[in-house]
Structure 1
Amino acid sequence: MPVPAPNLYPDFNTIRLSHLYLNVSDLAASRAFYVDTFGLQVTDESDTHIYLRALEERGHHCIILQKSDQPGTVETMGFKTYAEDDLDRAEAYFSARGRPTEWITRPYQGRTLLTADNHGIPLEFYHKMDRLKPIHQNYALYHGVRPLRIDHFNCFSPDVDASVAFYNDIGFRVTEYTEDEESHALWAAWMHRKGGVHDMAFTNGTGPRMHHVAFWVANPLHIIDLLDLMATTGYVGNIERGPGRHGISNAFFLYVLDPDGHRIEIYSSDYQTLDPDHEPIKWDLKDPQRQTLWGAAAPRSWFEHGTKFVGTETQEAQLKATPIIAP
């Protein structure tokens, strides 16, 4: 199916992705990974939760680690709206399309709408979050990979065309996409709100499941620093793929797994997509430079491993086309 024309005037206005609830088995082990090794900053913690933010962020949190009897799962993905009344318009929008809606209470957030997309990915929308003092010039805090901000989500979808149509209708715009030349179906797509390559991306596969959450860093040298640290502090087995440079997005990347198997991407040097008439870039599924500009294929785990959403059933992908996979 062709990429849909962008909807520049959606029913409600989403600014960007915001935060993610990750279910974990051991808060101490997760803290050692995300704080001591990776470099996120603790904004609050208890016996059941740890709230984290990256170094450039003013909002209270971008990652919430939640001790759970369902570790290795995701509870919700969060997005920020432009205005308070966008929340009411969002509730009307999702209700009219038969999607569940519920007003929930979240610590450090204002009014929050819990809903789900067309495949059941749990989404929450809010406008107000507690604001914290800036720390981006407090360089004594910079360690690990020096994560500056949360950048994007990527999810496995059983029908990428349907996912793209749904998010396009609420104002997300396609920047790049992979098309299967035989069926002309979408195998993957990258969609944005904030003016980068993507806030949300979809990869063909059993889903819905989270493929990864990504953090933006200032330059690739910080990725090398993290690799050296992980390799000498007991995390060498958590390094999955990279470092390398993507063909799609042109970003320098590394993929690692946290102690519960959640995949984290470290991401640097993509490009801006601010113009509303920005034309999406098409890639062929069999192009060896699609995955990595330098031609290196991704491992099989990258196409198969993902983390489930709590309470959401998965289904096999409709499209059976396969990409290039490393031997």
Structure 2
Amino acid sequence: MPIPEHNLNPPFNIVRLSHTELRVTDLAWSRGYYVDTLGLQVTYEDKEVIYLRAMEERGHHCLILRHAPVGEVGVLGFKVWSEEDLDKAEHWFKARDLPTEWVERPYMGRVLKTRDPWGVPLEFYAKMDRLEPIHQKYKLYNGVKPLRIDHFNLFSPNVDNSIKFYGELGFRVTEYTEDAETGRAWAAWMHRKGGVHDMAFTNGTGPRLHHVAFWVPTPLNIIDLLDLMSTTGYVDNIERGPGRHGISNAFFLYIRDKDGHRTEIYCSDYQTIDPDHEAIKWDLKDPQRQTLWGAAAPRSWFELGSTFEGAPVTESDLKSQPIIAP
């Protein structure tokens, strides 16, 4: 199926991805992992929830850890340009018979709650409480020195349909994987902010969150994190990498927390700001698609993900398989 043309005049203006809420079963363990080990900064915490931001972020939070009986994903959040865009978003989702609700969120004010056609919980806001800059407070830099949230990757039972829906919202395809036998998209990378992606979709049982990614300064920060994790009790949480992707050209590491939530540590992809930027096509069987150096991903990377609160999952009918590590 051909990749749709970029929609340069979307119905409302999404600036970028913003935040996610992960439900976790052991808040103290999660604090040790995301704060003490990865280095995210606490902006608020109590016995039930922890709000976190990365070093370059001025908004109050990019990650919410909320104590819950089951590990799942509460929401994916996006910033829009203005309050007027929030009203336009409500109209657009209502016109497609998708649920809408206005809520007040801590540190965010007026928020539009909705879901995509597959049940993924989404929320949009225009203003989040701003905090003082800390990007030059180098004594606070710990762990992998996370600078900012970078993207979400979701398992999708039909990647072509995901591309179409999010393309209507103005997300633009930068790279994609095609299954040569069927001509269907097996994966796609789509952006709003001018990097390789804010949202990506991978074929599989879904919708489920494959991972949330954080941008770090250099590949050496990833090496430092591996040394730290392997000597502080987290070696079993290392899943894949380090390596360099063919798609995006980024240096990466994948790790998974106690509840199975996957995080990608990520740096050095490229800019895609030009509106006529052409998408790059990869073949599913190209060994350099996953890792430029040719190393295949483990089976867990293609099968394990986090469910979304209230979203039933379905299997994909596209059964084509990429190269999987033995």
TM-score, scaled to structure 1: 0.99
For structure 2, the residue ranges without an aligned partner over 5 or more in a row are none
Match runs of 1:220-259 below 5 Å: 220-259=219-258
Match runs of 1:1-327 below 5 Å: 1-70=1-70, 72-327=71-326
What is the CA-CA distance between 1:290 and the residue it aligns to? 0.1
Between the aligned partners of 2:244 and 2:2, the Cα distance in structure 1 is: 27
8 A contact 1:177–1:186 mirrored in 2: yes
For structure 1, the residue ranges without an aligned partner over 5 or more in a row are none
8 A contact 1:153–1:213 mirrored in 2: yes
The C-alpha deviation readout for 1:154-205, integer Å capped at 9, x for no partner, is 0000000000000000100000000000100000000000000000000000
User: Which amino acid counterpart does residue 83 of structure 1 have in structure 2?
Assistant: S
The C-alpha deviation readout for 1:119-175, integer Å capped at 9, x for no partner, is 111100000100000000000000100000000000000000000000000100000
User: Which amino acid counterpart does residue 171 of structure 1 have in structure 2?
Assistant: G
Identical residues among aligned pairs (%): 71
The C-alpha deviation readout for 1:219-262, integer Å capped at 9, x for no partner, is 00000000000000000000000000000000000000012110
8 A contact 1:118–1:163 mirrored in 2: no
- Where 1:282 maps in the other structure, the secondary structure is strand
The C-alpha deviation readout for 1:256-299, integer Å capped at 9, x for no partner, is 00121100000010000000000000000000000000000000
- Where 2:105 maps in the other structure, the secondary structure is coil
TM-score, scaled to structure 2: 1.00
Between the aligned partners of 2:270 and 2:40, the Cα distance in structure 1 is: 24
> Runs (4+) of structure 1 moved beyond 3 Å?
none
The C-alpha deviation readout for 1:69-121, integer Å capped at 9, x for no partner, is 22x20010000001111000000000001111011121100210000112111
Aligned residues: 326
Between the aligned partners of 1:128 and 1:318, the Cα distance in structure 2 is: 40
8 A contact 1:119–1:163 mirrored in 2: no
- Where 1:229 maps in the other structure, the secondary structure is helix
User: Which amino acid counterpart does residue 200 of structure 1 have in structure 2?
Assistant: M
8 A contact 1:252–1:267 mirrored in 2: yes
- Where 1:105 maps in the other structure, the secondary structure is strand
- Where 2:229 maps in the other structure, the secondary structure is helix
Between the aligned partners of 1:276 and 1:82, the Cα distance in structure 2 is: 18
